[in-house]
Amino acid sequence: MEMTINSVAESWFSGSLSISDKINSRSTASFIVDTTNTITTGMEVVILDGATRIFAGTIDTFRKKKIKGTIIIRYDVSCVDYNQICDRRRHAATYENQTVSYIVNDIITSVLTDEGISAGTIQTGPVIKKAVFDRKTITDCLNYIKNATNLNWNIDYNKNLNIFYREDYTDTGFTDALDNFLDMEVEETRDEYRNRQYIKAGRDTTDVITLENPSPKPDGISKTFTLRFPLAVEPSIFIDSAQVDSGDVGLNGIDTGKKWYWTYGSKNITQDDSETVLSAEVLEVTYQGLIRIVVQADNTLAQDERLTVEGGTGIYEAIEEVASIDDRDAALDYADGLLEKYASIPQIVTIRTQTYKQAGKIIPISVSDLGLDAEYLIESVSISENQNQVFYNIKCLSGESLGSWVDFFRKLRKDSSDFLIKEDEVLIILNATTELQGFQGQIDIDLYTALYPADDLYPADDLYPGTLANEVTLYD
Protein backbone atom coordinates (compact mmCIF):
# COMPACT_ATOMS: atom_id res chain seq x y z
CA MET A 1 0.00 0.00 0.00
CA GLU A 2 1.40 3.34 -1.06
CA MET A 3 0.21 6.94 -1.16
CA THR A 4 1.64 10.13 -2.59
CA ILE A 5 0.47 13.69 -1.94
CA ASN A 6 1.72 16.16 -4.52
CA SER A 7 4.12 13.39 -5.70
CA VAL A 8 5.64 13.05 -2.21
CA ALA A 9 5.29 9.71 -0.41
CA GLU A 10 3.18 9.89 2.75
CA SER A 11 1.71 7.32 5.15
CA TRP A 12 -1.74 7.46 6.70
CA PHE A 13 -2.70 6.46 10.22
CA SER A 14 -3.47 2.74 10.22
CA GLY A 15 -7.22 2.22 10.02
CA SER A 16 -7.98 5.80 8.96
CA LEU A 17 -8.16 5.20 5.20
CA SER A 18 -11.65 5.10 3.69
CA ILE A 19 -12.51 5.18 -0.03
CA SER A 20 -16.05 5.28 -1.49
CA ASP A 21 -16.84 4.52 -5.14
CA LYS A 22 -20.50 4.70 -6.28
CA ILE A 23 -22.37 4.61 -9.58
CA ASN A 24 -22.98 8.09 -11.02
CA SER A 25 -21.24 9.74 -8.10
CA ARG A 26 -17.82 11.12 -7.31
CA SER A 27 -15.32 8.71 -5.75
CA THR A 28 -14.05 10.07 -2.45
CA ALA A 29 -11.22 9.23 -0.07
CA SER A 30 -10.41 10.27 3.48
CA PHE A 31 -7.48 9.58 5.79
CA ILE A 32 -5.37 11.00 8.62
CA VAL A 33 -1.69 11.68 8.05
CA ASP A 34 1.11 13.06 10.24
CA THR A 35 3.71 14.97 8.25
CA THR A 36 6.15 17.83 8.30
CA ASN A 37 5.26 18.67 4.70
CA THR A 38 2.72 21.34 3.88
CA ILE A 39 -0.63 20.04 2.64
CA THR A 40 -3.26 22.25 1.05
CA THR A 41 -6.47 21.97 -0.95
CA GLY A 42 -6.10 21.03 -4.60
CA MET A 43 -3.00 18.87 -4.15
CA GLU A 44 -3.03 15.59 -6.05
CA VAL A 45 -3.43 12.35 -4.09
CA VAL A 46 -2.67 8.90 -5.54
CA ILE A 47 -3.30 5.68 -3.57
CA LEU A 48 -1.97 2.32 -4.82
CA ASP A 49 -2.71 -1.27 -3.88
CA GLY A 50 0.37 -2.86 -5.37
CA ALA A 51 0.45 -1.64 -8.96
CA THR A 52 -3.29 -0.84 -9.04
CA ARG A 53 -4.53 2.70 -8.54
CA ILE A 54 -7.47 2.39 -6.19
CA PHE A 55 -7.90 6.16 -5.90
CA ALA A 56 -6.56 9.29 -7.55
CA GLY A 57 -7.85 12.82 -7.22
CA THR A 58 -7.32 16.06 -5.35
CA ILE A 59 -7.72 17.30 -1.78
CA ASP A 60 -11.11 18.90 -1.30
CA THR A 61 -11.03 19.78 2.41
CA PHE A 62 -8.75 19.21 5.40
CA ARG A 63 -8.34 19.98 9.07
CA LYS A 64 -4.94 20.25 10.74
CA LYS A 65 -3.63 20.41 14.28
CA LYS A 66 -0.28 20.71 15.99
CA ILE A 67 1.18 17.70 17.84
CA LYS A 68 2.63 19.02 21.10
CA GLY A 69 6.38 18.80 21.46
CA THR A 70 6.98 17.93 17.78
CA ILE A 71 7.21 19.67 14.41
CA ILE A 72 4.59 17.29 13.06
CA ILE A 73 1.21 18.51 11.83
CA ARG A 74 -1.70 16.04 11.83
CA TYR A 75 -3.99 16.42 8.80
CA ASP A 76 -7.50 14.99 8.52
CA VAL A 77 -7.95 14.97 4.75
CA SER A 78 -10.93 14.48 2.40
CA CYS A 79 -10.36 14.02 -1.35
CA VAL A 80 -12.48 13.81 -4.47
CA ASP A 81 -11.61 12.14 -7.77
CA TYR A 82 -10.68 13.84 -11.05
CA ASN A 83 -14.31 14.08 -12.18
CA GLN A 84 -14.50 17.18 -9.99
CA ILE A 85 -12.63 19.03 -12.75
CA CYS A 86 -15.74 18.75 -14.91
CA ASP A 87 -17.80 20.48 -12.21
CA ARG A 88 -15.70 23.66 -12.27
CA ARG A 89 -15.08 24.07 -16.01
CA ARG A 90 -17.71 25.26 -18.51
CA HIS A 91 -18.26 24.89 -22.23
CA ALA A 92 -20.17 26.95 -24.81
CA ALA A 93 -20.76 25.44 -28.24
CA THR A 94 -23.43 24.29 -30.70
CA TYR A 95 -23.11 21.01 -32.59
CA GLU A 96 -25.23 19.84 -35.50
CA ASN A 97 -25.23 16.31 -36.95
CA GLN A 98 -22.10 15.24 -35.08
CA THR A 99 -21.27 11.94 -33.39
CA VAL A 100 -20.85 11.68 -29.66
CA SER A 101 -17.11 11.05 -30.08
CA TYR A 102 -16.72 14.25 -32.13
CA ILE A 103 -18.45 16.34 -29.46
CA VAL A 104 -16.54 14.76 -26.57
CA ASN A 105 -13.16 15.08 -28.28
CA ASP A 106 -13.92 18.72 -29.02
CA ILE A 107 -14.73 19.29 -25.32
CA ILE A 108 -11.42 17.65 -24.38
CA THR A 109 -9.45 19.73 -26.89
CA SER A 110 -11.24 23.00 -26.08
CA VAL A 111 -11.27 22.77 -22.29
CA LEU A 112 -10.01 19.65 -20.56
CA THR A 113 -6.56 19.35 -22.13
CA ASP A 114 -5.50 22.41 -20.16
CA GLU A 115 -6.49 20.53 -16.99
CA GLY A 116 -4.32 17.53 -17.88
CA ILE A 117 -7.26 15.37 -19.04
CA SER A 118 -6.70 13.13 -22.08
CA ALA A 119 -8.99 11.06 -24.29
CA GLY A 120 -9.33 7.48 -23.08
CA THR A 121 -11.76 4.93 -24.54
CA ILE A 122 -14.33 6.96 -26.46
CA GLN A 123 -17.09 5.14 -28.32
CA THR A 124 -18.21 6.73 -31.57
CA GLY A 125 -21.82 6.67 -30.42
CA PRO A 126 -24.85 7.86 -32.39
CA VAL A 127 -25.14 11.08 -34.35
CA ILE A 128 -26.67 13.90 -32.32
CA LYS A 129 -28.85 16.01 -34.56
CA LYS A 130 -28.32 19.15 -32.50
CA ALA A 131 -26.68 19.92 -29.15
CA VAL A 132 -26.63 23.39 -27.63
CA PHE A 133 -24.41 24.03 -24.61
CA ASP A 134 -24.67 27.57 -23.29
CA ARG A 135 -21.80 27.89 -20.80
CA LYS A 136 -22.83 24.65 -19.16
CA THR A 137 -20.46 22.84 -16.83
CA ILE A 138 -18.63 19.99 -18.52
CA THR A 139 -20.47 17.68 -16.11
CA ASP A 140 -23.84 18.95 -17.39
CA CYS A 141 -22.73 18.61 -21.03
CA LEU A 142 -21.59 15.02 -20.56
CA ASN A 143 -24.64 14.11 -18.47
CA TYR A 144 -26.98 15.46 -21.17
CA ILE A 145 -25.22 13.21 -23.69
CA LYS A 146 -25.45 10.28 -21.25
CA ASN A 147 -29.17 10.77 -20.64
CA ALA A 148 -29.93 11.03 -24.35
CA THR A 149 -27.80 8.19 -25.70
CA ASN A 150 -27.25 5.76 -22.79
CA LEU A 151 -23.50 6.25 -23.11
CA ASN A 152 -21.85 6.51 -19.71
CA TRP A 153 -18.75 8.56 -18.89
CA ASN A 154 -16.04 8.98 -16.29
CA ILE A 155 -12.54 10.32 -15.78
CA ASP A 156 -10.44 7.42 -14.54
CA TYR A 157 -7.60 7.47 -12.05
CA ASN A 158 -5.11 8.06 -14.90
CA LYS A 159 -6.91 11.30 -15.90
CA ASN A 160 -8.42 9.79 -19.06
CA LEU A 161 -11.98 10.72 -20.08
CA ASN A 162 -13.88 7.62 -21.16
CA ILE A 163 -17.21 7.37 -23.00
CA PHE A 164 -18.60 3.85 -23.07
CA TYR A 165 -21.73 1.72 -23.33
CA ARG A 166 -22.58 0.31 -19.93
CA GLU A 167 -23.08 -3.21 -21.29
CA ASP A 168 -19.43 -3.17 -22.40
CA TYR A 169 -18.18 -2.13 -18.94
CA THR A 170 -17.55 -5.64 -17.61
CA ASP A 171 -15.05 -7.40 -15.36
CA THR A 172 -14.28 -10.84 -13.97
CA GLY A 173 -16.45 -11.86 -11.05
CA PHE A 174 -16.71 -14.30 -8.17
CA THR A 175 -17.30 -18.04 -8.53
CA ASP A 176 -17.02 -21.30 -6.62
CA ALA A 177 -13.86 -22.05 -8.57
CA LEU A 178 -12.14 -18.81 -7.52
CA ASP A 179 -10.97 -18.31 -3.97
CA ASN A 180 -11.21 -14.53 -4.32
CA PHE A 181 -13.70 -13.45 -1.63
CA LEU A 182 -13.72 -13.56 2.15
CA ASP A 183 -17.48 -13.69 2.67
CA MET A 184 -20.66 -13.07 0.69
CA GLU A 185 -24.21 -12.16 1.78
CA VAL A 186 -27.46 -12.09 -0.21
CA GLU A 187 -30.50 -9.93 0.61
CA GLU A 188 -33.86 -9.75 -1.13
CA THR A 189 -36.19 -6.78 -0.63
CA ARG A 190 -39.39 -5.47 -2.15
CA ASP A 191 -39.02 -1.90 -0.80
CA GLU A 192 -39.16 -0.32 -4.28
CA TYR A 193 -41.02 -3.10 -6.05
CA ARG A 194 -43.92 -2.19 -8.31
CA ASN A 195 -45.70 -3.89 -11.24
CA ARG A 196 -48.17 -1.12 -12.06
CA GLN A 197 -46.79 2.34 -12.70
CA TYR A 198 -48.71 5.59 -12.97
CA ILE A 199 -47.05 8.69 -14.39
CA LYS A 200 -48.50 12.16 -13.83
CA ALA A 201 -46.66 14.15 -16.46
CA GLY A 202 -46.95 17.62 -17.94
CA ARG A 203 -49.40 18.61 -20.66
CA ASP A 204 -49.67 17.25 -24.18
CA THR A 205 -51.23 18.84 -27.25
CA THR A 206 -54.65 17.74 -28.48
CA ASP A 207 -55.54 17.07 -32.08
CA VAL A 208 -56.87 20.10 -33.96
CA ILE A 209 -60.27 21.10 -32.56
CA THR A 210 -62.29 22.60 -35.40
CA LEU A 211 -64.72 25.52 -35.17
CA GLU A 212 -65.52 25.34 -31.47
CA ASN A 213 -68.03 27.88 -30.14
CA PRO A 214 -66.45 29.43 -27.04
CA SER A 215 -68.46 30.59 -24.02
CA PRO A 216 -70.30 32.88 -23.66
CA LYS A 217 -71.87 33.46 -27.04
CA PRO A 218 -71.46 37.04 -28.31
CA ASP A 219 -73.90 39.09 -26.24
CA GLY A 220 -73.00 42.72 -26.97
CA ILE A 221 -71.11 42.91 -23.65
CA SER A 222 -68.40 40.24 -23.41
CA LYS A 223 -64.97 40.66 -24.96
CA THR A 224 -63.35 37.61 -23.34
CA PHE A 225 -64.42 34.14 -24.47
CA THR A 226 -63.50 30.79 -22.92
CA LEU A 227 -62.54 27.56 -24.73
CA ARG A 228 -62.74 24.01 -23.38
CA PHE A 229 -58.96 23.46 -23.33
CA PRO A 230 -56.01 25.74 -22.54
CA LEU A 231 -54.36 27.00 -25.72
CA ALA A 232 -51.17 25.35 -26.98
CA VAL A 233 -50.65 27.33 -30.19
CA GLU A 234 -52.07 30.45 -31.81
CA PRO A 235 -55.77 29.87 -32.57
CA SER A 236 -57.63 30.60 -35.79
CA ILE A 237 -60.64 32.85 -35.07
CA PHE A 238 -63.72 32.99 -37.28
CA ILE A 239 -66.55 35.57 -37.17
CA ASP A 240 -69.58 34.59 -39.24
CA SER A 241 -67.35 32.01 -41.00
CA ALA A 242 -64.83 34.69 -42.06
CA GLN A 243 -61.35 34.07 -40.59
CA VAL A 244 -59.63 36.88 -38.73
CA ASP A 245 -56.26 37.55 -40.37
CA SER A 246 -53.46 35.82 -38.40
CA GLY A 247 -51.62 39.14 -38.34
CA ASP A 248 -54.45 40.51 -36.23
CA VAL A 249 -54.02 37.81 -33.55
CA GLY A 250 -51.29 38.37 -30.98
CA LEU A 251 -49.95 37.28 -27.60
CA ASN A 252 -51.60 38.91 -24.63
CA GLY A 253 -49.20 41.14 -22.71
CA ILE A 254 -46.59 41.07 -25.47
CA ASP A 255 -48.20 42.19 -28.72
CA THR A 256 -50.11 45.45 -29.18
CA GLY A 257 -52.36 46.85 -31.87
CA LYS A 258 -54.02 43.50 -32.57
CA LYS A 259 -57.71 42.65 -32.81
CA TRP A 260 -57.53 39.50 -30.70
CA TYR A 261 -55.15 38.19 -28.03
CA TRP A 262 -54.36 34.78 -26.62
CA THR A 263 -52.01 33.30 -23.96
CA TYR A 264 -50.26 29.93 -23.87
CA GLY A 265 -51.90 27.75 -21.22
CA SER A 266 -55.00 29.97 -20.94
CA LYS A 267 -58.50 29.01 -22.11
CA ASN A 268 -59.36 32.62 -22.96
CA ILE A 269 -59.24 34.66 -26.14
CA THR A 270 -59.78 38.39 -25.72
CA GLN A 271 -60.99 41.04 -28.14
CA ASP A 272 -59.03 44.30 -28.18
CA ASP A 273 -60.73 47.24 -26.41
CA SER A 274 -60.73 49.24 -29.66
CA GLU A 275 -62.74 46.58 -31.51
CA THR A 276 -66.52 46.69 -31.83
CA VAL A 277 -68.07 44.31 -29.32
CA LEU A 278 -69.69 41.24 -30.85
CA SER A 279 -73.43 40.87 -30.37
CA ALA A 280 -75.31 38.50 -32.70
CA GLU A 281 -72.29 37.23 -34.70
CA VAL A 282 -71.26 33.58 -34.74
CA LEU A 283 -67.83 33.22 -33.07
CA GLU A 284 -65.85 30.04 -33.79
CA VAL A 285 -62.29 29.00 -32.95
CA THR A 286 -60.05 26.32 -34.44
CA TYR A 287 -57.15 25.46 -32.15
CA GLN A 288 -55.00 22.88 -30.43
CA GLY A 289 -55.35 22.63 -26.67
CA LEU A 290 -53.35 21.27 -23.76
CA ILE A 291 -54.43 18.18 -21.82
CA ARG A 292 -52.94 16.81 -18.60
CA ILE A 293 -51.05 13.56 -19.13
CA VAL A 294 -51.76 10.66 -16.78
CA VAL A 295 -50.67 7.22 -18.01
CA GLN A 296 -50.68 3.72 -16.58
CA ALA A 297 -48.33 0.86 -17.46
CA ASP A 298 -48.69 -2.72 -16.25
CA ASN A 299 -46.33 -5.67 -16.15
CA THR A 300 -48.92 -8.44 -16.16
CA LEU A 301 -46.33 -11.21 -15.95
CA ALA A 302 -44.97 -9.73 -12.73
CA GLN A 303 -48.50 -9.27 -11.38
CA ASP A 304 -49.30 -12.93 -12.07
CA GLU A 305 -46.07 -14.00 -10.37
CA ARG A 306 -46.94 -12.02 -7.22
CA LEU A 307 -50.53 -13.34 -7.33
CA THR A 308 -49.21 -16.91 -7.34
CA VAL A 309 -46.93 -16.23 -4.35
CA GLU A 310 -49.12 -13.89 -2.28
CA GLY A 311 -52.69 -14.31 -3.49
CA GLY A 312 -55.04 -11.35 -3.89
CA THR A 313 -54.49 -9.38 -7.08
CA GLY A 314 -50.68 -9.42 -7.01
CA ILE A 315 -50.70 -5.74 -7.97
CA TYR A 316 -48.14 -3.31 -6.52
CA GLU A 317 -48.85 0.28 -7.57
CA ALA A 318 -46.56 3.30 -7.62
CA ILE A 319 -47.01 6.83 -8.91
CA GLU A 320 -44.41 9.33 -10.11
CA GLU A 321 -44.85 12.97 -11.05
CA VAL A 322 -42.61 14.11 -13.91
CA ALA A 323 -43.77 17.54 -15.02
CA SER A 324 -40.96 17.87 -17.57
CA ILE A 325 -42.50 15.19 -19.85
CA ASP A 326 -44.93 16.82 -22.28
CA ASP A 327 -45.72 13.90 -24.59
CA ARG A 328 -47.98 10.95 -23.77
CA ASP A 329 -45.79 8.43 -25.65
CA ALA A 330 -42.73 9.63 -23.75
CA ALA A 331 -44.68 9.27 -20.50
CA LEU A 332 -45.57 5.68 -21.39
CA ASP A 333 -41.94 4.97 -22.29
CA TYR A 334 -40.87 6.40 -18.94
CA ALA A 335 -43.42 4.27 -17.08
CA ASP A 336 -42.29 1.16 -18.95
CA GLY A 337 -38.70 2.02 -18.13
CA LEU A 338 -39.49 2.18 -14.42
CA LEU A 339 -41.22 -1.19 -14.63
CA GLU A 340 -38.17 -2.62 -16.40
CA LYS A 341 -36.14 -1.59 -13.37
CA TYR A 342 -38.50 -2.23 -10.47
CA ALA A 343 -40.93 -4.99 -11.53
CA SER A 344 -38.78 -7.64 -9.89
CA ILE A 345 -37.62 -8.32 -6.37
CA PRO A 346 -33.88 -7.83 -6.66
CA GLN A 347 -31.06 -9.69 -5.05
CA ILE A 348 -28.54 -7.48 -3.29
CA VAL A 349 -25.20 -9.25 -2.96
CA THR A 350 -22.59 -7.87 -0.56
CA ILE A 351 -19.06 -9.21 -0.95
CA ARG A 352 -16.03 -8.69 1.27
CA THR A 353 -12.85 -9.30 -0.66
CA GLN A 354 -9.28 -8.19 -1.21
CA THR A 355 -9.77 -8.13 -4.99
CA TYR A 356 -10.24 -4.64 -6.43
CA LYS A 357 -13.42 -3.90 -8.39
CA GLN A 358 -14.91 -0.65 -9.71
CA ALA A 359 -18.46 0.65 -9.26
CA GLY A 360 -20.50 0.48 -12.45
CA LYS A 361 -18.88 -2.73 -13.70
CA ILE A 362 -21.00 -5.75 -14.62
CA ILE A 363 -19.63 -8.98 -13.17
CA PRO A 364 -20.71 -12.64 -13.12
CA ILE A 365 -21.33 -14.24 -9.73
CA SER A 366 -21.73 -18.02 -9.53
CA VAL A 367 -21.82 -19.39 -5.97
CA SER A 368 -23.94 -22.52 -5.78
CA ASP A 369 -24.33 -22.54 -1.97
CA LEU A 370 -26.14 -19.18 -2.17
CA GLY A 371 -28.08 -20.05 -5.33
CA LEU A 372 -26.30 -17.36 -7.33
CA ASP A 373 -25.58 -17.73 -11.03
CA ALA A 374 -26.15 -14.49 -12.95
CA GLU A 375 -24.69 -11.13 -13.89
CA TYR A 376 -24.64 -8.39 -11.27
CA LEU A 377 -24.10 -4.65 -11.43
CA ILE A 378 -21.64 -3.21 -8.89
CA GLU A 379 -23.54 -0.33 -7.29
CA SER A 380 -20.87 0.76 -4.82
CA VAL A 381 -17.45 -0.16 -3.43
CA SER A 382 -16.21 0.83 0.03
CA ILE A 383 -12.47 0.47 0.58
CA SER A 384 -10.83 0.33 4.00
CA GLU A 385 -7.42 -0.52 5.39
CA ASN A 386 -6.39 -2.39 8.51
CA GLN A 387 -2.78 -3.15 9.44
CA ASN A 388 -1.67 -2.34 5.89
CA GLN A 389 -4.19 -4.74 4.33
CA VAL A 390 -6.86 -3.41 1.98
CA PHE A 391 -10.43 -4.71 2.14
CA TYR A 392 -13.13 -4.09 -0.49
CA ASN A 393 -16.81 -4.20 0.46
CA ILE A 394 -18.73 -4.53 -2.80
CA LYS A 395 -22.50 -4.06 -3.16
CA CYS A 396 -24.00 -5.70 -6.27
CA LEU A 397 -27.52 -5.63 -7.73
CA SER A 398 -29.13 -8.46 -9.68
CA GLY A 399 -30.59 -8.03 -13.14
CA GLU A 400 -32.01 -11.46 -13.87
CA SER A 401 -35.58 -10.21 -14.37
CA LEU A 402 -34.29 -8.27 -17.37
CA GLY A 403 -32.47 -11.26 -18.86
CA SER A 404 -29.15 -9.76 -17.78
CA TRP A 405 -27.66 -6.36 -17.14
CA VAL A 406 -25.85 -6.55 -20.47
CA ASP A 407 -29.14 -7.28 -22.26
CA PHE A 408 -30.90 -4.52 -20.32
CA PHE A 409 -28.40 -1.80 -21.17
CA ARG A 410 -28.20 -2.99 -24.77
CA LYS A 411 -32.00 -2.65 -25.10
CA LEU A 412 -31.74 0.96 -23.97
CA ARG A 413 -29.55 1.83 -26.93
CA LYS A 414 -31.25 3.84 -29.69
CA ASP A 415 -28.45 4.50 -32.14
CA SER A 416 -30.84 5.20 -35.02
CA SER A 417 -32.84 7.87 -33.18
CA ASP A 418 -32.59 11.62 -33.63
CA PHE A 419 -31.09 13.20 -30.54
CA LEU A 420 -31.72 16.84 -29.66
CA ILE A 421 -30.02 18.46 -26.70
CA LYS A 422 -31.32 21.99 -26.27
CA GLU A 423 -30.43 24.67 -23.80
CA ASP A 424 -31.92 23.92 -20.37
CA GLU A 425 -33.37 20.62 -21.59
CA VAL A 426 -32.59 17.02 -20.79
CA LEU A 427 -33.82 14.36 -23.21
CA ILE A 428 -34.81 11.13 -21.47
CA ILE A 429 -35.11 8.03 -23.62
CA LEU A 430 -36.42 4.79 -22.16
CA ASN A 431 -37.26 1.54 -23.87
CA ALA A 432 -40.88 0.33 -23.84
CA THR A 433 -41.68 -3.09 -22.42
CA THR A 434 -42.64 -5.65 -25.05
CA GLU A 435 -44.67 -8.67 -24.00
CA LEU A 436 -46.07 -11.60 -25.95
CA GLN A 437 -49.76 -12.38 -25.51
CA GLY A 438 -51.79 -15.26 -26.89
CA PHE A 439 -55.31 -15.06 -28.31
CA GLN A 440 -57.78 -17.83 -28.92
CA GLY A 441 -60.41 -17.68 -31.64
CA GLN A 442 -61.10 -14.43 -33.48
CA ILE A 443 -61.01 -10.97 -31.93
CA ASP A 444 -62.15 -7.80 -33.66
CA ILE A 445 -60.49 -4.65 -32.35
CA ASP A 446 -62.20 -1.36 -33.22
CA LEU A 447 -60.17 1.85 -33.22
CA TYR A 448 -62.02 5.12 -32.62
CA THR A 449 -60.88 8.68 -32.93
CA ALA A 450 -60.88 10.84 -29.78
CA LEU A 451 -64.26 11.99 -28.50
CA TYR A 452 -64.75 15.52 -27.13
CA PRO A 453 -67.88 16.57 -25.22
CA ALA A 454 -70.45 18.81 -26.87
CA ASP A 455 -73.57 20.56 -25.62
CA ASP A 456 -75.88 18.38 -27.74
CA LEU A 457 -74.12 15.02 -27.18
CA TYR A 458 -75.74 12.60 -24.70
CA PRO A 459 -74.88 8.97 -23.76
CA ALA A 460 -76.90 6.19 -25.35
CA ASP A 461 -76.71 2.39 -25.58
CA ASP A 462 -75.62 2.57 -29.22
CA LEU A 463 -73.31 5.57 -28.82
CA TYR A 464 -69.60 4.73 -28.95
CA PRO A 465 -66.72 7.06 -27.98
CA GLY A 466 -65.69 8.64 -31.27
CA THR A 467 -65.94 7.79 -34.92
CA LEU A 468 -64.89 4.33 -36.09
CA ALA A 469 -61.54 4.82 -37.81
CA ASN A 470 -60.27 1.27 -38.34
CA GLU A 471 -61.03 -2.38 -37.54
CA VAL A 472 -58.39 -5.09 -37.03
CA THR A 473 -59.14 -8.82 -37.00
CA LEU A 474 -56.78 -11.14 -35.05
CA TYR A 475 -56.68 -14.90 -35.53
CA ASP A 476 -54.96 -17.44 -33.29
Top pLDDT among 440 and 395 is at 395
pLDDT of residue 67: 82
pLDDT of residue 179: 78
pLDDT of residue 469: 54
Q: Where are the beta strands (DSSP E) in 36-142?
A: 44-49, 52-66, 73-81, 90-99, 118-122, 127-137
Closest Cα to residue 30, out of 9, 13, 7, 42? Answer: 13
pLDDT confidence bin for 462, thresholds 50/70/90: low
Sign of the CA dihedral running 100, 147, 315, 396: positive
| Chain segment 261-288, per-residue pLDDT in tens | 999 989 999 999 999 999 989 999 999 9
Q: Are strands 362-367 and 372-386 parallel, antiparallel or unpaired?
A: antiparallel
Least confident of 15-24, 295-304, 460-469: 460-469
Q: Please check whether residue 35 is in contact with residue 56, taking contact to mean a CB–CB distance below 8 angstroms.
A: no
Rounded Cα distance between 27 and 20, Å, is 6
| Chain segment 194-219, per-residue pLDDT in tens | 999 998 888 888 889 999 999 999 99
Rounded Cα distance between 242 and 343, Å, is 55
Sign of the CA dihedral running 239, 245, 250, 255: negative
Instruction: State mean pLDDT over 240-247.
Output: 93
Q: Please check whether residue 390 is in contact with residue 3, taking contact to mean a CB–CB distance below 8 angstroms.
A: no
| Chain segment 340-366, per-residue pLDDT in tens | 778 877 788 999 999 999 998 999 999
pLDDT of residue 424: 42
Burial class (CB in 10 A: 0-12, 13-18, 19+), 330: buried
Q: Which domains does the chain have, with CATH numbers?
A: 2-81 (2.30.300.10), 174-200+294-421 (no CATH), 204-292 (no CATH), 442-475 (no CATH)
pLDDT confidence bin for 471, thresholds 50/70/90: low
Q: Please check whether residue 438 is in contact with residue 476, taking contact to mean a CB–CB distance below 8 angstroms.
A: yes
Top pLDDT among 132 and 118 is at 118
